[in-house]
Structure 1
């Protein structure tokens, strides 16, 4: 069976299961090359199957020797035309590698927004995971969420607020540079986006875990945010996504109060711009990234998700190089925000057009490769093998 990369617009539809497996191994090798660091040994990661969540899990397991629980909603293979999702294979590859090293790597494939999922995880912690967790990482990314109490389903919108935004965008399927328009959101769309992508579910998870008494004394919970810069503020920080991130700040304060009696802490981590399935569909963001990546690569500061997350936990949260802002948020995005980096990125972006956006002037090829890696394509060290659909179906989850 041959695997073919298939992109519709900027959304990946195809998957290479063997490539996904190799990509996970590549990330594990990167973490191991950095050596061991001290961090919690019992970790729950909500949204663990790709990008930030997967990278966090790999870093903590193979860098700090942590047992991990991963929660994600993925789909397995049904036929040669429907091979499932990349996250399905990432979870399998991670579990196999972790168990070879004697680590616990439990995967829950479920709707993390539901009460049932929370209870299932709590029961596992109590009965099979030692009874407590030391670190809870919330890294869930979804465009839809069903409220577990009302049953109402909400859909998020990536839109501007106030005035529409007009600017350059890229269609990777057609390799096309064009001028795009982002319409302003309605009040309902803003509220729905906050409902889906804000901090409400994070707070519900922490309340459930606290009430079940499965949080250790001094527990830490982290949630990844992105604030961006003036170059992307009109469509990110100043748009619906920015409102959702602001809600996470509010919920962090609530969680800090909730955890006060066990000396726990909720930490917002403002991450840098990286290539994810989500970032590829944010209007205009690819243009920003191909300029930023070019500048940061030349400065030696560009990071993939595994590089970024490993630095966050190894050097900042459990190391001696933390950087906080006035709001108490951890700021590993300081390399992106460097004034020279931003000035050079803006200068480069202003020069882009349909004739030069994908040449050596930018990091388009780098962004495309990192995007492809998310689905198991263009993976370093990958060796093509023949495998049948029945063999894929037999992979133990």
Structure 2
């Protein structure tokens, strides 16, 4: 037993510990938010979710389990409890596995570097030995600071930079006592091989490598479908995001989808798409200058009309499984961000953005919501959890035989 009281200590938006009970409750709430469906046990399609422990990848995993009845494998890279607690993704994965087992879904979780060929082979072996040697769906949702090329050993590092010239933007920070401040920050432009490095980490190279390996072992089912999760975002954040180094990587991801779609269509009657998701507070997004301010203002405009990640992924699974028609834009992308990019919504957010100062921000943005969303990423600010009580931190990784 390793019980202790866990306090939410942070450096900016990064928390040093996670709360196991809060993470578990959040996973349970996400599962309950999925529309109820009558599903037979053990007969669902086989799916592989790469990046299954956080953000949209977690939502894809839970929505797939609860709505579609998937069985299969989730891949993520999390730290076990030690001197500090485990990562939030460690506890979310344990909770997801328990719910999957309770509902009769055979879901196995692999903890390791999804970029490595070792993990890819481990997953391929599991598909072959446990799931009948066939894969129906692959969801790719990976955000990482670096990637090691398995062939060359070269380590690539992604950067968040504008392209061409420095970019100055407003951003939201909180001082040590929690008082919000709107500041201006300037980010230097990409230089050298920053774009190529970021593309090598966050583009479509690893996604295609997964498909190559699984196809090479004849594990892709007839009609196999794969989707990579992406983001476009607002014109307010475009210079640092969609028009920046990350945007270049997203463009590469989308180009990879076209290549894979043509190839899978010919070989298996399958398809590959990118899914453009809408804004959410995630561990990745809070690192991007301006995104915290934008998210708070967007919530201030829309309130409860914002569509949660689990709500968006329910829509995605509906389209991937042909429950609803597959609707693509002119670039061949599924668009789940129409509510965010509605011109009236963007005009309202832009008006608030231009008016935002340290003095006015509490009237323009939903900061209570934003603060709680950041805390919930780590299992804090979850209703129904007694944070004064000791919590068991030594939660084991879910056993594949459970």
2:149 to 134, 147, 158: 147
Provide the C-alpha distance between the structure 1 equivalents of 2:338 and 2:291, rounded to a whole number of angstroms: 18
SS of 1:238's partner is: coil
Matched, 1:18 2:21: yes
The equivalent residue for 2:343 is 339
Provide the C-alpha distance between the structure 2 equivalents of 1:381 and 1:34, rounded to a whole number of angstroms: 23
The one-character-per-residue Cα deviations of 1:100-130 (angstroms, maximum 9, x if unpaired) are 1111110100111011111110010000112
Q: Quickly say closer, same or farther: Cα 1:395–1:324, change in 2 above 3 A.
A: closer
Matched, 1:41 2:58: no
The equivalent residue for 1:308 is 312
The equivalent residue for 2:224 is 219
The equivalent residue for 2:33 is 30
1:165 to 164, 167, 177: 167
How far off its partner does 1:187 sit?
Answer: 3.6
1:380 to 375, 379, 383: 383
Of stretches 367-376 and 152-161 in structure 1, the one that deviates more from structure 2 is 367-376
The one-character-per-residue Cα deviations of 1:273-307 (angstroms, maximum 9, x if unpaired) are 1110011010111111111122122xx53022112
Provide the C-alpha distance between the structure 2 equivalents of 1:378 and 1:117, rounded to a whole number of angstroms: 34
The equivalent residue for 1:283 is 289
The equivalent residue for 2:276 is 270
How far off its partner does 1:360 sit?
Answer: 4.2
Provide the C-alpha distance between the structure 1 equivalents of 2:208 and 2:91, rounded to a whole number of angstroms: 29
Provide the C-alpha distance between the structure 1 equivalents of 2:374 and 2:327, rounded to a whole number of angstroms: 29
1:54 to 58, 61, 83: 58
How far off its partner does 1:199 sit?
Answer: 0.6
SS of 2:96's partner is: helix
Provide the C-alpha distance between the structure 1 equivalents of 2:392 and 2:210, rounded to a whole number of angstroms: 39
TM-score (norm 2): 0.92
Provide the C-alpha distance between the structure 1 equivalents of 2:104 and 2:223, rounded to a whole number of angstroms: 26
The equivalent residue for 2:352 is 348
Q: How does 1:61-80 map to 2 (within 5 A)?
A: 61-79=65-83
The one-character-per-residue Cα deviations of 1:316-359 (angstroms, maximum 9, x if unpaired) are 763326442111111111111111001111011111101122x2
Matched, 1:180 2:182: no
2:207 to 198, 202, 207: 202
The equivalent residue for 1:106 is 108
Q: Quickly say closer, same or farther: Cα 1:276–1:388, change in 2 above 3 A.
A: closer
How far off its partner does 1:148 sit?
Answer: 0.6
Give the gaps of 5 or more residues in structure 1: none
TM-score (norm 1): 0.93
SS of 2:18's partner is: coil
Provide the C-alpha distance between the structure 1 equivalents of 2:376 and 2:85, rounded to a whole number of angstroms: 16
Q: Quickly say closer, same or farther: Cα 1:366–1:244, change in 2 above 3 A.
A: same
The equivalent residue for 1:236 is 241
SS of 2:235's partner is: coil
Q: Quickly say closer, same or farther: Cα 1:323–1:396, change in 2 above 3 A.
A: closer
Matched, 1:368 2:371: yes
Q: Quickly say closer, same or farther: Cα 1:233–1:395, change in 2 above 3 A.
A: closer
Number of residue equivalences: 389
Please provide the CA RMSD for this pair.
1.9
2:137 to 123, 135, 138: 135
Q: Quickly say closer, same or farther: Cα 1:353–1:283, change in 2 above 3 A.
A: same
Give the gaps of 5 or more residues in structure 2: none
SS of 2:183's partner is: strand
How far off its partner does 1:394 sit?
Answer: 4.9
Q: Quickly say closer, same or farther: Cα 1:37–1:320, change in 2 above 3 A.
A: farther
Of stretches 285-294 and 115-124 in structure 1, the one that deviates more from structure 2 is 285-294
Provide the C-alpha distance between the structure 2 equivalents of 1:35 and 1:78, rounded to a whole number of angstroms: 39
Q: Quickly say closer, same or farther: Cα 1:394–1:284, change in 2 above 3 A.
A: closer
Q: Quickly say closer, same or farther: Cα 1:59–1:168, change in 2 above 3 A.
A: same
